[in-house]
Amino acid sequence: MLFSSIPFLYYFLPAVIVLYIAAPKGIKNSVLLLSSLFFYAWGEPRYVFLMLLTVGLGYILGLLIDAFRGKFLSKVFLVLSVAISLSFLGYFKYADFFISNFNAATGLSVPLLRLTLPIGISFYTFQILSYTVDVYRGDASAQKNPINLATYIALFPQLIAGPIVRYTDIEAQLTKRRHSFEKTAYGIRRFIIGLSKKILFANTLGELGEFFLASGDKAILFYWLFILSYMLQIYFDFSGYSDMAIGLGKLFGFDFMENFNYPFISSSITEFWRRWHISLGSWFRDYVYIPLGGNRVGRTRLFFNIFTVWFLTGFWHGAQWNFIVWGLYFGVLLTLEKFFLRGFLAKHKIFSHIYLLFLTAVSFAIFSGNNLSQSLSQLYGMFGFGDIPFVSAEFFYCLRNYGIILMIAAISATPLLRNIISRFENNKQFSTIINILEIPALLILLIVSTAYLADGSFNPFLYFRF
């Protein structure tokens, strides 16, 4: 079940809100847990049992890690927890990748498993890992109530597309949550904005992408138009889902971390990754990079740490070589910035923004393919390799039909509109007008988004690979 769907918006979510409000305080988590399991089972009925199994194992191992804290057995149970969690992830997500590469290397024909990837497995696996690691470190106490732990892991607002929520961030909120009119109003506002970003921007730009991929009249500028629209589509799709998750969290009293902060205004790749998918970057920093030694090591070991993190970041995104290349590509760029380019980029702001947008466009070309061959084909087209014309009739067709939405989306991907509204809000007279207009504006966005969904418009789910 997608957030951007009629069943979720007008059946599931209202029913859950009513049940949650009506439930006594002591069983509100039970209501959220049962609702989350139903939400997951709607799309993955077989794999809801896998989730319950991983939650149960995480609960038991967390208790054992805590019970033997400071002793050798605590580390044994931590290693067991990590091994089990990564084994499930590896089996379902990466088994066919390893079999395919084994077959290619040996000439054998070991049959592929062709498993359906459980939706959200990468997200909830990382949440279980962070929980058991934090218990081992002493940053959190083991959760004695299995309902509370299961609610944290399975909570439907952040289950399928993040942000990756740390147990330590919401440990207290699992038992003591603050509800208020202001928090609820903010949650509704944030959800509708996220829904609008997904439906009106991401889905519309996705139509352009589908047209490009089906086109037999490709050209250099058409490739660039596709990649620029794809960059914005991914941003509005993913940040829209994060907005919806944060908004839904507020409705039920949870405060989730921000996941995006206008990444395309960055002036370096380093800054870009501080603003893009913040929860993933901070997870790898705290649970991989720093335990490896971080930057408090010699240069050779530092290179190893950086490239290990970015290899894993790429591989986390998908079981294809283009994702590994994508991750290592960022590893190279971040290393160059760390040792050579930081000062130069800081002094040349205009160049640094152009540099950032160009290199991220290349990264999205690598990311966009279903395999490395498709990614290379995108790059060849962007840089004119082969017998490819500079422009084509279909490029101009797409530019006419999608140029305005591309321009609006590009502006909306910056804080320009937010800054303008903030300035007006500082003026008492304009602030009153904005407050009056906000509710009808949000209602219009909801109605328009609903109309698109009712019309059966293009509504892809981009995170099935995760």
384 vs 83, 140, 211, 237, 389, CA distance in Å? 46, 54, 20, 29, 8
The answer to whether 132 touches 61, Cβ cutoff 8 Å, is yes
Give the residues of the chain that fall short of pLDDT 50: none
Give domain status of residue 58, yes or no. Answer: yes
Q: Which residue has the tokens 């304009």?
A: 430
Q: 270: how many CB neighbours lie within 10 A of its CB?
A: 17
Question: Do 213 and 118 share a structural domain?
Answer: no
Last residue of a domain, one of 126, 144, 177: 177
Question: Do 144 and 208 share a structural domain?
Answer: no
Give domain status of residue 334, yes or no. Answer: yes
Question: Do 203 and 113 share a structural domain?
Answer: no
Separation CA 227–CA 212 (nearest Å): 10
120: left (phi over 0), alpha (psi -120 to 50) or beta: left
Give domain status of residue 465, yes or no. Answer: no
At 253 the three-state DSSP class reads coil
- Residue from 3, 7, 17 nearest 253 by CA: 17
Q: Name the residue range of residue 130's domain.
A: 6-177
User: How large is the C-alpha radius of gyration of the chain?
Assistant: 23
Give domain status of residue 463, yes or no. Answer: no
Give domain status of residue 466, yes or no. Answer: no
Which residues, 6 or more positions from 47, have their beta carbon under 8 angstroms from its beta carbon? 40, 116, 118, 119, 121
pLDDT for 99-123, tens place per residue?
Answer: 999 999 999 999 999 998 888 899 9
Question: Do 124 and 42 share a structural domain?
Answer: yes
Q: Which of 277, 317, 348, 353 is catalytic?
A: 317
The pLDDT of residue 426: 78
Question: Do 402 and 319 share a structural domain?
Answer: yes
200 vs 192, 196, 283, 417, 457, CA distance in Å? 11, 5, 30, 17, 10
Separation CA 155–CA 128 (nearest Å): 13
Question: Do 383 and 237 share a structural domain?
Answer: yes
Give domain status of residue 136, yes or no. Answer: yes
Domain count across the chain:
2
The pLDDT of residue 407: 96
- Which amino acid is residue 384, in one-letter code? G
Q: Which residue has the tokens 């790898």?
A: 284
Question: Do 259 and 157 share a structural domain?
Answer: no
For the question of residue 353 being annotated catalytic, the response is no
Question: Do 369 and 264 share a structural domain?
Answer: yes
pLDDT for 235-260, tens place per residue?
Answer: 999 999 999 999 999 999 999 999 99
Question: Do 334 and 200 share a structural domain?
Answer: yes
The pLDDT of residue 466: 54
Question: Which residue intervals of 318-427 are DSSP H helices?
Answer: 321-336, 342-347, 349-368, 372-382, 393-412, 416-425
The pLDDT of residue 437: 85
The pLDDT of residue 436: 83
Give domain status of residue 1, yes or no. Answer: no
Separation CA 11–CA 420 (nearest Å): 36
Helices 48-67 and 28-43 pack at an angle, to 10 degrees, of 140
The pLDDT of residue 463: 59
Question: Do 282 and 215 share a structural domain?
Answer: yes
Last residue of a domain, one of 112, 142, 177: 177
Separation CA 141–CA 139 (nearest Å): 7
At 383 the three-state DSSP class reads coil
Give domain status of residue 462, yes or no. Answer: no
Question: Do 274 and 157 share a structural domain?
Answer: no
Which residues, 6 or more positions from 168, have their beta carbon under 8 angstroms from its beta carbon? 130, 134, 139, 140
What would the two tokens of residue 148 be? 């509370």
The pLDDT of residue 160: 82
Last residue of a domain, one of 143, 162, 177: 177
What would the two tokens of residue 350 be? 């205009």
- Residue from 314, 43, 334, 82 nearest 74 by CA: 82
Question: Do 167 and 222 share a structural domain?
Answer: no
The pLDDT of residue 464: 55
The pLDDT of residue 428: 75
At 22 the three-state DSSP class reads helix
Separation CA 455–CA 459 (nearest Å): 11
